[in-house]
């Protein structure tokens, strides 16, 4: 009677700055799917949420991103820091913990404040 499903999304859903149509559409669908299973599985004590990261520094997916792009992000977002994989991992760990037992059906964006909901 306890569980946590945590799906990984993207902030491109809120801010489609690159034309990754298929990727962004799939991630938008993942948010809808997560909300549906949150509603369905809540009765069993199972929570479902999405953690959506921004451009992460540095992963295999962002290895080709230039330093100039990372510098621009650092200058323009409120926290003045590019999101790290650890930033996203901390949110995942929180949502998996007992501290988040009252949270389900949400999309949490971890991107230094680039997108705000």
Convert the pLDDT of each residue in 7-52 to its tens digit: 999 999 898 888 899 999 999 999 999 999 999 999 999 999 999 9
Residue from 2, 20, 23, 44 carrying the catalytic annotation: 23
- For this structure, is 23 an active site residue? yes
Q: What is the pLDDT of residue 29?
A: 97
**Dist CA 102 CA 107 (whole Å):** 14
Please state whether the predicted TM-score (pTM) of the whole model is above 0.95: no
**Dist CA 3 CA 47 (whole Å):** 6
- What class has domain 3-110? alpha beta
Q: What is the pLDDT of residue 45?
A: 97
Burial of residue 48 (CB within 10 Å: 0-12, 13-18, 19+) is buried
Structure confidence by residue, pLDDT tens digits, 85-108: 999 999 999 999 999 999 999 999
Q: What is the pLDDT of residue 33?
A: 98
């Amino acid at each position: 009677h306890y569980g946590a499903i945590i799906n990984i999304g993207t902030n491109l859903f809120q801010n489609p700055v690159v034309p990754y149509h298929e990727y962004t559409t799939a991630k938008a669908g993942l948010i809808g799917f997560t909300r549906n299973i949150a509603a369905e599985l809540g009765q069993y004590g199972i929570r479902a949420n999405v953690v959506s990261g921004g451009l992460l520094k540095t992963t295999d997916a962002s290895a080709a991103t230039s330093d100039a792009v990372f510098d621009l992000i650092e200058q323009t977002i409120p926290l003045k820091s590019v999101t790290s994989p650890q930033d996203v991992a901390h949110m995942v760990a929180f949502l998996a913990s007992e501290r988040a037992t009252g949270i389900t059906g949400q999309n949490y964006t971890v991107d230094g404040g680039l997108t705000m909901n």
